[in-house]
Each structure stands twice: as structure tokens, then as C-alpha cells.
Structure 1
Amino acid sequence: MLTHENDSSSLAEIRVEGDNSILLVDDDKPFVTRLARAFEQRGFDVRTAESVSDGTGAIRAAPPAYAVVDMRLGTGNGLDVIEALRQARPDARVVVLTGYGNIATAVNAVKLGAIDYLAKPADADEVIAALMRDPTIKAEPPENPMSADRIRWEHIQRVYEMCDRNVSETARRLSMHRRTLQRILAKRAPR
């Protein structure tokens, strides 16, 4: 249950009653350190992990009530962490963060139980708002539509996910050279 001190709606004053454990899984150490500090200041019991194996190990030790998981970890995919958390604690609330956001991975994350999907860099207030949002309230639609470059990139990512992240098969289906596809996949999403 959430309470607001002095009836203020400021996210900085949100406190979680009961289980306020949160697991932050991200391989960007400076980013996860800043985020952990911000969550601690807001009353959360924070644990961090920098890899899929560290994240799943932390979940096995004590499944948290909340989690913030980076989609692309150096050692694997954040979806594996979400799946492990969903099996260990189905009521956990998970937000996915990524610098490589795309519709296909967002859909996969939501199917596995994530409640929201945010693009990096996201600040602590945005993440907390996503974690605490009433599930019956729909998120506001974006003010600016996607550019043509972004739509192309989304389509490539969707096909890549449908091919189980197999670069050669994705390139074949898109009638694209494999190296060209690899360069596109290595870049951040266009705006």
C-alpha cells in the first residue's frame, strides 16, 4: 500500500508499506548506483545485480516485490531475469529499462509480466511512477509520432525477435546483407 506524506502527490514523498524490496539489474554500474541511491532515499530496500546470473541468484535468495531490469545485459537478456522473477513471485511489479527500445521486446517483456517499458535514460521518478501506476489507468499516448527511420528500425527489431534473435535468419527474411543488419542492430534506436 502506498502512502503520501502530508497528502502530497510528489513522487519524492512516496513510501511503500509492507514489502518494499526492489532489485535493480543493469550492467551500467554508474547508472545502477545512481538509481539505487535514489530508491534508497525513497524508502526502498535495494539490491543490485549486474548480470543475468546475479539477478536470478538474487531472486532465488529472496524474490523482491519490485524490479527494474535492463533489457540488454552483457551476459544475456533481461527477459530471462523477468521470467525467473515471475516464476518465483508472480505478484512482483517489474519495469524494463533499455537504451535499445523496440515494440517486439516490449511485447515480450509485457507477456512475461513487466508492467511498463521505459527508454534510458530514465530517472528515478519516472521509474517509480511506472512501478506504482494503477494498472487500470492507461498510459498517455506519445505527443510526437515515430519518424520513418524509427518505424523501419521497429520493423527490423520485430523481425529479429520473431527469428529468436538470429541475425542470419533475420537478414534473409528482410532481404538484407547480414553485416548491414548487424550494424543496424548495434546502434541505438532513432528518434
Structure 2
Amino acid sequence: MKKLLIIEDDVPFAATLARRMSKHGFSCEQVHQANKALHACLQQKPDCVLLDMKLVSDNGLMLIKPIRAALPKVRLVLLTGFASVTTAVQAMRLGADDYLAKPVSTQMLLTALDSPLTNPKQPHNVAALDIDTMSAERVEWEHINQVLSSNAGNVSATARQLGMHRRTLQRKLQKKPVSK
């Protein structure tokens, strides 16, 4: 039985993930705070880790390198509700094995967690982020909303960070998200 550590601040969602994965032969443990994640990794020594990108005020990306250093053979999958090409590339460079956008199906989770590790230092898959069919407008919209979220909804700070005029950003935010 594979051990799975779920690092997710949304307690009901983490419980749902644990139930879903338990039905497929995983022994699941949950951690809901970023500051307890590394300790849980060292204590539990899981085979796989599902890591949420947004952990209350923390960013799950900052946990990838320490987890990878502590458990070099762990299968590490980043989950996010704010999928973008930028964060996918960043996650893979930091050492994540896969990158999945929420909501995620059980089959996608199983595929990501059961994929063999060919080379743990070389990322190989960006699952659930269909870059080939995602339009440039959709990628831009996803990125803008992720930056806006990281700035706690502050449009002025987001515009500065993105290097665009505040009114231009407001117009883009008023548009409905384009489909993939």
C-alpha cells in the first residue's frame, strides 16, 4: 500500500481527496498548514505527496525544494486552482513531478501518482494543463487572476507587478474568462 501525504489547507477538500485515494489503495495522511508540512514529510515518509499551491497565506511552491531534498524519491504532485503556464514551469523547475489544475478527476490523480519516475531531477509532465489547446487569452487571464490573488485583490499592485496600466488591467478583469 502506497503512503500518500495530502498537504491542503481546505480541510473538506483534503478529506475528499483522502477518501477518493483510499479507495484506490493509498494510505492517506493530511496536513493543513504549510509550517507542519515538512515535519509531516519527515515523520510519515510518504511515497507520494499532493501539495496545494495556495496554503492560506503561504505558497506551496516554496515547499517543493525542501520536500524534494528530504524525500528525493517521493512522487510530488502540485495541485492548484490557479493554473497557468508560468506556475507550471516554475513548479517543474523546483522539482514537482506533475502539475494538476483543480478540479481534478480521480483518474487524473491516479495517473499522476502512479507514473513512474524516470529521473527525479528532470520534470517530465505537466498533466491537466493542456498547453496545446489553451488559447493565449486564456493563459493571460489565468496568469492575471493568479497575480491578483497573490496581491490580495489589489488592482494597483497587480498592474504594477504585471507592467500594465491600471485601467487596462481593470478592462481585462471585467471580461469573462475565455474558454480553453
Please point out which of 69, 72, 78 is paired with 2:51: 69
CA distance in 1, matches of 2:117, 2:145: 27
* Overall identity of the aligned pairs, in %: 33
CA distance in 1, matches of 2:161, 2:5: 39
Q: How does 1:18-29 map to 2 (within 5 A)?
A: 20-29=2-11
Please point out which of 33, 36, 44 is paired with 1:51: 33
Contact 2:82 2:142 in 1 (8 A): no
By how many angstroms is 1:175 displaced?
A: 2.5
| Amino acid in structure 1 at the alignment position of 2:6 | L
Secondary structure in structure 1 of the residue aligned to 2:30:
strand
- 2:107 alignment partner in structure 1: 125
- 1:150 alignment partner in structure 2: 138
The verdict on how the C-alpha distance between 1:26 and 1:77 changes in structure 2, with shifts beyond 3 A counting, is same
- 1:41 alignment partner in structure 2: 23
By how many angstroms is 1:139 displaced?
A: 7.2
| Amino acid in structure 1 at the alignment position of 2:55 | L
By how many angstroms is 1:73 displaced?
A: 1.1
Secondary structure in structure 1 of the residue aligned to 2:97:
strand
* Unaligned 5+ runs, structure 2: 119-123
Q: How does 1:53-132 map to 2 (within 5 A)?
A: 53-132=35-114
Secondary structure in structure 1 of the residue aligned to 2:160:
helix
Contact 1:150 1:190 in 2 (8 A): yes
| Amino acid in structure 2 at the alignment position of 1:88 | A
> How many residues of Structure 1 are paired with residues of Structure 2 in the alignment?
165
Contact 1:101 1:189 in 2 (8 A): no
The structure number with the bigger radius of gyration is 1
CA distance in 2, matches of 1:28, 1:99: 12
- 2:121 alignment partner in structure 1: none
Q: TM-score, normalised by structure 2?
A: 0.73
CA distance in 1, matches of 2:138, 2:159: 18
Secondary structure in structure 2 of the residue aligned to 1:46:
strand
CA distance in 2, matches of 1:111, 1:176: 30
Contact 2:53 2:60 in 1 (8 A): yes
What value does the CA root-mean-square deviation take over the aligned residues?
3.5
- For the pair 1:32 / 2:21, whether they are aligned, the reply is no
- For the pair 1:176 / 2:158, whether they are aligned, the reply is no
The verdict on how the C-alpha distance between 1:88 and 1:124 changes in structure 2, with shifts beyond 3 A counting, is same
Q: TM-score, normalised by structure 1?
A: 0.70
Contact 2:51 2:78 in 1 (8 A): yes
